[in-house]
Structure 1
Amino acid sequence: MTAHLPDNTKIGQVSLKVSNLERSIQFYTEVVGFQLLRETANTAELTVGGKHTLLTLKYIENAVILPRQSTAGLYHFAILLPNRVALGLSLRNLLAHEIEIGQGDHDVSEALYIHDPDNNGIEIYADRPREQWKKDTNGFYIMGTDPVDAEDLVAISQNLPWQGLPQGTVIGHVHFHVSNLLKAQQFYCDVLGFDITSRYGSSAMFISAGGYHHHMGLNIWAGEGAPPAPENAAGLDFFELIVPDQRELDAVVARLTAAGYGVQELNGAKYVADPFRIQIKLANGQTS
């Protein structure tokens, strides 16, 4: 039987390891637009709307800041905004802070790319309506890399005040460097149950549940056989994968266990590491 995740599977929070907690709090609140929900000596939880944690920052003493694209691990995590106007407001705020910005019109979405002070990649994007997404003859979504119409994004948000990330903002997807695409496919598709939605030559693939253009990107742009990120490196701590209920969570755990992946329990939550030591928190939507 082919593994298959439920259609309403989604990405939950992302947890990052950072080298300077106060600097990262300032960056993610003032530049990106999160709100601080709570802070302890070594961690900060950030939110949009004040209820649920979307981003956790975890201070690592003497954390190593890695060069970009040097190990398996985080390429970027992606903040999905509810509309283009919100994307225009984010663009204007990034420009006001003189942040280096990459960009791409991917047909299914429009995206801005930045890095935090620890070289963690961030995508800020807005989707086009799903009925506008197109597929090729293989049934894969067509996702290009044309320039974003930045002038229009600025224009449509021109007379509106920046008030941070708006209600309805979520973590839309995560994108990782991996050391081998076939191993990634075997884990994320054959065992976890994601569907392949697009490929970028032989160097990247995109996967999702429920027909979304992608909940995850996986690439070998750090090199075939790229080593896992060291434990003491700034970067991803974990990302959260949320299935709708406990029955589905039990099924995921059973598939992982049967395939030889050790599912660990910590503080009442279940975690598993993929073949590249990327940590996943497994949750169900009724309790997360």
Structure 2
Amino acid sequence: MTVNAVRLNHAVLFVADLERSITFYQQAFDMRIVAREPRADAAFLRLPRSGNHHDLGLFGVGAQPARPRGSLGLYHLAWQVDTIEELEQARLTLADLDALTGESSHGATKSVYAHDPDGNEFEVMWMLPKASWGDYADAAPIERLDLPGEVRRWAGVHTAAELVPLNAPVDAPVEAS
């Protein structure tokens, strides 16, 4: 029997400077502190539109050498946005914070990549409507992202609410709204 999880609920990161990291995630994602645990030098943050208790935990551990890229451990986190226009805005925000590191089209998803002050990489992604996945339903290419073209094609299309209904089998197709 496997674990019957629905989705990843939150992530927790070790950071060198808790206050610096809180400031970054507030500037990048407009996250709000929902709780602090001073004994652990920790803070728990929530995204503005989240119904979750917290989406990100940050634990200050002091300055340490950076882990070399490609070493074992977490590669990146992915934050989903609802519209392609929000992805376009995320790209601008992350560039303004000097955090943007790249962008890609993965077929069913369009992504920009960035890093936080400790070098933790993350992705901000927008997902095509499930009904439009086509050949990408079982593929994840890494291709050049034409963000202006994607904005023209998908403007005004909301996809974040497309969830698997609670009573649907895991592999069953989900009807687009």
Is residue 85–residue 153 contact of structure 1 (8 Å, CA) maintained in 2? no
Match of 1:210 among 162, 165, 170: 170
Q: SS at the partner of 1:87?
A: helix
SS for the counterpart of 2:131 is helix
Structure 1 residue 153, shift from structure 2 partner: 6.4
**Higher RCO, Cα 8 Å, sep 6+:** 1
Q: How far did 1:211 drift?
A: 4.5
Query: How do 1:1-288 and structure 2 match up within 5 A?
Result: 3-6=1-4, 9-41=6-38, 42-49=41-48, 52-70=53-71, 72-135=72-135, 141-152=138-149, 210-211=170-171
How many pairs are equivalent? Answer: 155
**Deviation at 1:86?**
1.5
Name structure 2 gaps, 5 residues minimum.
Answer: 154-159, 162-168, 173-177
Structure 1 unmatched runs, 5+: 157-167, 170-208, 213-288
Question: TM-score normalized by structure 2?
Answer: 0.74
SS of 2:86's equivalent in the other structure is helix
2:17/2:63 contact within 8 Å kept: no
CA shift in 2, pair 1:99/1:119, >3 Å: closer
Do the aligned residues in 1 keep the contact of 2:103 with 2:113 (CA within 8 Å)?
A: yes
Task: Give how far 1:82 is off.
Answer: 1.6
Identity among equivalent positions (%) equals 24
Q: Report deviation, 1:120.
A: 1.0
CA contact (8 A) 2:21 2:116 kept: yes
> 1:135 & 1:153 partners in 2: Cα distance?
17
Q: Residue 100 of structure 2 contacts residue 112 of structure 2 at CA under 8 Å; is this kept in 1?
A: no
**Greater fraction helix:** 2
Q: Which has the larger radius of gyration?
A: 1
The two structures, once aligned, show a CA RMSD in angstroms of 2.8
- Cα separation, 1, equivalents of 2:20 and 2:152: 31
In structure 1, distance between residues paired with 2:151 and 2:128:
17
Letter aligned with residue 54 of structure 1: D
- Cα drift, residue 142 of structure 1: 1.7
Counterparts of 2:150 and 2:43, CA distance in 1: 31
Tell me what 2:175 maps to.
none
Contact 2:32 2:46 in 1 (8 A): yes
Given the two structures, how large is their TM-score scaled by the length of structure 1?
Answer: 0.48
Higher strand residue share: 1
